[in-house]
């Protein structure tokens, strides 16, 4: 696991008499208790082994913690401390900050927390405050309040320096998928690289046949069904596989961290749909084994790709999903999420073994001029978090909702299939408890993204750190 790296400084009182007679007896044991207590959480905590009581201690500890790779500063205030020391530490660390104190009236920790936190606010350092004993009625705050912020802070830091790859240009006039590369540099410190579709085609033509045959055999032997016809043939599937390997090689050669691909209408009209590429890059496995899921959005949707990358970082590398908001069933509180032909196959079974997931996937004809395959599936039931970065007059906001993938009754499924006719696509069924009409009023994109589990709290904190307005849909 790539755990958040937390640098902890425990503060003491600089006054020699008070430290010797009162506060050392409080702070030193609680420093050790803190180290032991924080072992239960999904984070790596660094410390320098002693309590910091003066400016020199703080400067030395901050330098050491940063050298160890700390990306979040945890200021532990077990007793009264001078607020200027808290500010000095936060400024020296210069990273997202959490202050932790206790509820014991004999430690004077509350006044230390408020003095230090208030001083941080005065100088404009955003931070999270936790006031709770390690064992007591409020200890749940560490999981519910501290950890979402720490995970978000780690994700925000790891966004910096990433490179986004855009294959092709704007797709089918979808303005909601466009982005401003300089805004990304300013807000997220993300670079972008533009790659023409032609580079995929050029490389696909020279992919080793051994790689193609291996992937073809693995794929066709593991999926639930392969429904060939005159527009979906073995040759077309192998061409899609060659494009997959070409795209995967480009990602490696150009050191891309996440991406979006135009595909329609250029590739679907004149070459081949890129559904195999996006399905398996997002899934994180193929005939060669498992690899880190690579977040890639369809239809050149850059903001969707960025949302997927954020969710991936927040969840320690979990696969993410891209889809259209295709239909709303107000009567049954269902949102239907089809996609143009590709869907992350991990969601078909949520299994660590990709072959188990593929048992729930069919390869069906893509209803496009060039034919080829789509990865037809319905994601398996389970908790999910849906989210999407959108822009309102150039300013980013994120719509966030926790919901559930379900399989509706067969009548609803059959009715949707009948309405779609020949144009069958993978589709997820989302059940919600919130006001769908409010969602329709506020959601400013035709695309949405998802990750398994409940992660709204982490996304809200990530938005806080990045200066984005978070809008959480609630019942």
The 10s digit of each residue's pLDDT in 84-105 is: 999 999 999 999 999 999 999 9
321 within 8 A of 343, measured Cβ to Cβ: yes
- Output the pLDDT for position 470: 96
The mean pLDDT value of the chain amounts to 93
Find, among 26, 10, 6, the residue nearest to 18 by Cα: 26
Query: 170 pLDDT exceeds 90?
Result: no
- Output the pLDDT for position 258: 98
pLDDT in tens, 212-235: 999 999 999 999 999 999 999 999
pLDDT tier, 437 (very low <50, low <70, confident <90, very high otherwise): confident
Q: What is the average per-residue pLDDT within 363-390?
A: 92
- Output the pLDDT for position 128: 97
- Output the pLDDT for position 273: 87
- Output the pLDDT for position 366: 87
SS3 category, 91: helix
pLDDT tier, 158 (very low <50, low <70, confident <90, very high otherwise): very high
CA distances from 122 to 40, 43, 87, 116, 465 (A): 33, 29, 10, 10, 18
Q: What DSSP letter does each residue of 121-180 carry, written as one string?
A: HHTT--EEEEE--SSSTTTHHIIIIIHHHHHHHHHHHHHTT-EEEEESS--TT-GGG---
Burial of 206 (0-12, 13-18, 19+ CB in 10 A): exposed
Q: Which helix (H) or strand (E) holds 469?
A: strand 469-472
94 within 8 A of 26, measured Cβ to Cβ: no
- Find the range with the poorest average confidence among 5-9, 105-109, 173-177, 209-213: 173-177
DSSP 347: G
The token pair at 208 is 């080793």
- Output the pLDDT for position 380: 94
The CATH fold of domain 5-159: Rossmann fold (3.40.50)
Find the length of the chain. Answer: 475
DSSP 97: E
28 within 8 A of 34, measured Cβ to Cβ: no
- Output the pLDDT for position 176: 79
379 within 8 A of 348, measured Cβ to Cβ: yes
Q: What is the average per-residue pLDDT within 31-35?
A: 93
- Output the pLDDT for position 60: 96
The domain segmentation of the chain, as residue ranges, is: 5-159, 163-472
287 Cβ contact list (under 8 Å, min separation 6)? 214, 215, 217, 218, 219
Backbone angles phi, psi at 84, to 5 degrees: -65, -25
- Output the pLDDT for position 416: 82
- In terms of pLDDT, which residue wins out, 191 or 2? 191
Query: 402 pLDDT exceeds 90?
Result: yes
Query: 44 pLDDT exceeds 90?
Result: yes
404 Cβ contact list (under 8 Å, min separation 6)? 381, 382, 383, 384, 430, 431
d(CA 393, CA 180): 13
The structure's pTM equals: 0.94
- Output the pLDDT for position 42: 93
DSSP 380: P
SS3 category, 212: helix
- Output the pLDDT for position 323: 94
- Output the pLDDT for position 51: 94
The domain 163-472 having CATH identifier 3.40.30.160: the answer here is no
Query: 301 pLDDT exceeds 80?
Result: yes
- Find the range with the poorest average confidence among 56-70, 282-296, 366-380: 366-380
Find, among 272, 252, 276, the residue nearest to 264 by Cα: 272
Burial of 256 (0-12, 13-18, 19+ CB in 10 A): buried
> How far, rounded to the nearest angstrom, does the alpha carbon of residue 277 sit from its chain's CA centroid?
20
CA distances from 82 to 47, 62, 215, 326 (A): 20, 17, 63, 57
pLDDT tier, 422 (very low <50, low <70, confident <90, very high otherwise): confident
d(CA 299, CA 262): 4
279 within 8 A of 376, measured Cβ to Cβ: no
Q: What is the average per-residue pLDDT within 184-198?
A: 95
Share of the chain above pLDDT 70, in %: 100
């Amino acid at each position: 696991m790539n755990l958040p790296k937390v640098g902890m400084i425990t503060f003491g009182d600089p006054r020699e008499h008070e430290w010797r007679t009162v506060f050392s007896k409080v702070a030193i044991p609680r420093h050790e208790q803190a180290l032991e207590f924080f072992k239960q959480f999904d984070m790596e905590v660094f410390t320098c082994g002693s309590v910091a009581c003066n400016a020199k201690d703080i400067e030395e500890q901050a330098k050491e913690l940063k050298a160890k790779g700390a990306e979040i500063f945890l200021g532990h205030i077990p007793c009264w401390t001078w607020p200027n020391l808290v500010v000095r530490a936060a400024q020296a660390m210069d990273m997202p900050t959490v202050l932790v104190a206790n509820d014991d009236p004999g430690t004077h920790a509350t006044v230390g927390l408020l003095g230090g936190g208030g001083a941080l606010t005065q100088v404009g350092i955003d931070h999270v405050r936790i006031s709770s004993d390690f064992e007591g009625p409020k200890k749940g705050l560490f999981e519910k309040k501290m950890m979402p912020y720490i995970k978000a802070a780690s994700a925000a830091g790891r966004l910096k320096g990433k490179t986004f790859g855009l294959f092709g240009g704007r797709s089918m006039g979808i303005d909601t998928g466009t982005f401003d590369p300089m805004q990304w540099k300013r807000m997220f410190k993300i670079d972008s690289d533009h790659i023409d579709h032609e580079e995929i085609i050029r490389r696909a033509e020279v992919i080793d046949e051994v790689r193609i045959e291996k992937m073809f055999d693995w794929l066709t032997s593991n999926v639930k069904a392969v429904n060939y016809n005159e527009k979906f043939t073995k040759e077309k599937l192998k061409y899609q596989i060659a494009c997959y390997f070409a795209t995967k090689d480009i990602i490696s050669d150009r050191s891309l961290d996440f991406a979006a691909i135009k595909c329609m209408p250029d590739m679907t009209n004149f070459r081949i749909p890129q559904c195999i590429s996006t399905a398996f890059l997002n899934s994180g496995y193929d005939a060669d084994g498992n690899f880190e899921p690579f977040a890639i959005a369809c239809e050149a949707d850059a903001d969707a790709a960025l949302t997927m990358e954020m969710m991936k970082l927040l969840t320690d590398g979990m696969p993410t999903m891209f889809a259209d908001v295709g239909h709303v069933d107000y009567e049954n509180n269902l949102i239907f999420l089809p996609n143009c032909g590709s869907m992350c196959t991990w969601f078909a079974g949520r299994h660590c073994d990709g072959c188990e997931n593929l048992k729930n996937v069919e390869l069906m004809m893509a209803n496009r001029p060039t034919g080829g395959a789509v990865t037809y599936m319905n994601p398996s039931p389970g908790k999910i978090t849906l989210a999407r970065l959108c822009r309102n007059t150039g300013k980013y906001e994120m719509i966030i909702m926790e919901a559930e993938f379900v399989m509706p009754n067969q009548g609803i499924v059959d009715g949707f299939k009948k309405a779609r006719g020949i144009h069958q696509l993978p589709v997820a069924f989302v059940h919600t408890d919130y006001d769908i009409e409010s969602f329709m009023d506020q959601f400013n994109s035709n695309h949405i993204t998802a990750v398994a589990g409940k992660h709204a709290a982490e996304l809200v904190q990530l938005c806080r750190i990045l200066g984005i307005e978070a809008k959480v849909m609630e019942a």
